[in-house]
Structure 1
Amino acid sequence: MPAQVPKSPPLIFGIPSEVLQEILLLCHPRDVAAFCGTCQSGGDRGMDQYLWRQLFLGLFDVPPNVDSCRWRCELSARMKAERDVCRAGRQDAGLSEADLRAALETLVIVAAQISDANDSTDSLPSRNAEWLNNVLHKSRILDTPSSLSKDCQYVDRLRTYMALSLHENDDESIRRIRTQSRCFIYDLRNYHEANSWGPYLGDKINWTHLNYVVNVIVTNLREQPALNLPIPPHGLAATRAYSAPGSRSPEDWAGVEGTWHRYVSFMDYRDLFAFNFGGILANHRDPAFFDNLHFREATRLIELTLHLIPREEMRIKFSTNDPPVATHPDYPTLYFSGTSRGISMLHLQPTVQGLVYMDLDGIPRWKFTSMQSSTPQWSSEGVQLGKPGSQMGLAGVWSAFGHDRDDPAGPFWAWKVSSD
Structure 2
Amino acid sequence: MSSILLAIPPEILQCILAACHPSDVAAFSKTCHTAYNAVYNTEGSYLWRELLIAFWDDPRLADHETSPTVAIDIPWKQCVQERVHAEWLAATSAKRGAIPFPDLLFLVETFGSVVDSCTPIQVGDPESKPSRSLAWLTNILHNSAVLYQPAVDGSASLGQALARLKVFYSFAETTDPDADSCTAASAVTRRARNRSRHYVYNLQHYTPKRQYGPFLDDGVVNWYHVHHVMNVVWANICDLPAQWACKRPPVGLEAIRAFSAPASFTDEDWAGVRGLWRRYICFMDYRDLFSFNFTNVLRGPRDLAYFEENPRFREATRLIELDLEVVPWEAITFSALKTVPTVYYPRYPPIFARGISRSAHGLESVVEGVVSMAKDGTVRYHFVSSQDGQTLWCSRGVQIGKPGCAAGVVGTWTTTSHEQDDPVGPYWLWKVADGDASVLFDHM
| TM-score (norm: length of structure 1) | 0.90
Correspondence for 1:259: 276
Query: Does 383-392 or 227-236 show the bigger shift?
Result: 227-236
1:62 matches 2:58: yes
Measured at CA, do residues 56 and 170 of structure 1 come closer, stay the same or move farther in structure 2, by a change above 3 Å? closer
Correspondence for 1:3: none
Structure 1 residue corresponding to 2:289, chosen from 252, 265, 272: 272
Mapping 1:13-162, distance limit 5 Å: 13-47=6-40, 48-63=44-59, 64=62, 68-88=73-93, 91=96, 97-119=101-123, 120-146=125-151, 149-162=156-169
Mapping 1:398-413, distance limit 5 Å: 398-413=413-428
Offset of residue 295 of structure 1: 1.0
Aligned-partner residue type, residue 136 of structure 2: W
Aligned-partner residue type, residue 102 of structure 1: F
Offset of residue 172 of structure 1: 9.7
Query: Does 270-279 or 282-291 show the bigger shift?
Result: 282-291
Measured at CA, do residues 226 and 252 of structure 1 come closer, stay the same or move farther in structure 2, by a change above 3 Å? closer
Query: Does 144-153 or 155-164 show the bigger shift?
Result: 144-153
Contact conserved, 2:297 with 2:306, CA < 8 A, in 1? Answer: no
Q: Which runs of 5+ in 1 are unaligned?
A: 1-8
1:209-262 alpha-carbon deviations (Å, 9 max, x no partner): 000011001000112244442221011000111111132333111111110000
Structure 1 residue corresponding to 2:412, chosen from 359, 379, 397: 397
Aligned-partner residue type, residue 384 of structure 2: T
Aligned equivalents of 1:319, 1:336: Cα separation in 2: 10
Aligned equivalents of 1:164, 1:298: Cα separation in 2: 21
Contact conserved, 2:343 with 2:349, CA < 8 A, in 1? Answer: no
Measured at CA, do residues 195 and 147 of structure 1 come closer, stay the same or move farther in structure 2, by a change above 3 Å? closer
Offset of residue 144 of structure 1: 1.7
1:222 matches 2:238: yes
Q: Which runs of 5+ in 2 are unaligned?
A: 63-69, 175-182, 436-444
- Taking every aligned residue pair, what percent have the same amino acid on both sides? 39
Structure 2 residue corresponding to 1:12, chosen from 5, 8, 33: 5
Aligned-partner residue type, residue 215 of structure 2: Y
Aligned equivalents of 1:66, 1:188: Cα separation in 2: 40
CA radius of gyration, larger in: 1
The number of residue pairs the alignment matches comes to 409
1:151-189 alpha-carbon deviations (Å, 9 max, x no partner): 111111121122234594369971111011000000011
Aligned-partner residue type, residue 74 of structure 2: C
Measured at CA, do residues 38 and 97 of structure 1 come closer, stay the same or move farther in structure 2, by a change above 3 Å? farther
Correspondence for 1:301: 319
Measured at CA, do residues 155 and 67 of structure 1 come closer, stay the same or move farther in structure 2, by a change above 3 Å? closer
Aligned equivalents of 1:264, 1:228: Cα separation in 2: 13
Measured at CA, do residues 173 and 401 of structure 1 come closer, stay the same or move farther in structure 2, by a change above 3 Å? closer
1:63-106 alpha-carbon deviations (Å, 9 max, x no partner): 0368622211111112222233334455588x653342122011
Offset of residue 359 of structure 1: 1.4
Aligned-partner residue type, residue 136 of structure 1: L
Correspondence for 1:353: 368
Correspondence for 1:176: 191
| TM-score (norm: length of structure 2) | 0.85
Aligned-partner residue type, residue 261 of structure 2: A
Aligned-partner residue type, residue 163 of structure 2: D
Contact conserved, 1:89 with 1:144, CA < 8 A, in 2? Answer: no
Measured at CA, do residues 196 and 67 of structure 1 come closer, stay the same or move farther in structure 2, by a change above 3 Å? closer
Aligned equivalents of 2:75, 2:29: Cα separation in 1: 17
* 2:384 match: secondary structure: strand
Aligned-partner residue type, residue 41 of structure 1: T
Measured at CA, do residues 143 and 42 of structure 1 come closer, stay the same or move farther in structure 2, by a change above 3 Å? same
Measured at CA, do residues 12 and 391 of structure 1 come closer, stay the same or move farther in structure 2, by a change above 3 Å? same
